[in-house]
Amino acid sequence: MTFIEKTTDHRKLRRWEGNIEADYIYTSGLAGERFFTELRKNGRILATHCPRCDLTYLPPRMYCERCLAELRDWKEVPATGRVEAFTVARLDEEGHEAPEPQVWAFIKFPGIHGGFVHIVAAPEEKVKRGLEVRPRLKPQPLRTGEITDIEAFEPAEH
């Protein structure tokens, strides 16, 4: 055997095939149910607040990760957030060049712990740290109670 014979396609070699026949159905959970229902019905983005640790969690959780208190205090997230960090994806999941570069950002909101990692619908040259953005939701009848009900974040207009 020599390295000259190496191949990068393992399927050309002698092999046994295998397949794990499992697929998955998930539950949104107790906090997730309220978060997604509110997003779908009323287009509001909610967070949960821990009074003891003074942290407001987004996405909302039913417990505080710092003190493990059960959280019952729900708050609406401010409409405008800021880009904390971003990247521009140029290849798709197959490794081919994407039709157009896609901007991904970590978006934070004033007074909120956590935030969203989501798509930013803006030309890449416009996106920078600190850019103010707002969520663009699907129209209510098309919303299904999923994270993709937020289509993208767009630069906030003043």
Partner 1 sequence: MRKVAVIGAGMTLFRRRLMETPKELCFEATRMALDSAGIELKDVDAVISGSAPDGFDGVHMKGEYYSDGCGAYGKPYMRVFVGGGTGVFSAISGWYHIASGLADIALVVNEEKMSSCQPHPQSVFAHIWDPILDRPLKPNLIWIFAMEMNRYMTVHKIKKEDIALVAVKNKRNAVDHPCAQLADPNITVDDVLNSEVLAWPVQRLDISPPSDGAAALVMASEDAVKRLHVETPVWMKGVGWCIDSTMWTDRDLYFPEYVARAAKMAYKMAKIDNPRKQIDFAEPYDPFDYKELHHMEGLLLAKKGEAPIMTREGVTQRDGDLPTCPSGGLLGVGNPIAATMGVKIGELYWQLSGQAGKRQIPHEIKTGVTNAWGDLMQYGAVAVMGV
Query: Using CB under 8 A, which residues numbered 52 to 91 contact partner 1?
Result: 61-63, 65-68, 70
> CA–CA separation, 31 vs 23, rounded Å?
24
Question: CB 35 → partner 1: shortest distance, Å?
Answer: 12
Q: Which two tokens stand for residue 49?
A: 């607040």
Question: CB 69 → partner 1: shortest distance, Å?
Answer: 8
Identified binder of partner 1 from the candidate list 24, 93, 100, 130, rule CB under 8 A: 24
Identified binder of partner 1 from the candidate list 2, 7, 8, 27, rule CB under 8 A: 27
Are residues 87 and 118 in contact, defined by beta-carbon separation less than 8 angstroms?
Answer: no
Under the binding rule (CB under 8 A), the answer on residue 22 touching partner 1 is: yes
What is the DSSP code string of 99-127? EEEEEEEEEE-TT-EE-EEEEE-S-GGG-
Report CA Rg, the chain: 21
> Which residues contact partner 1 (rule: CB under 8 A)?
16, 18, 20-33, 61-63, 65-68, 70
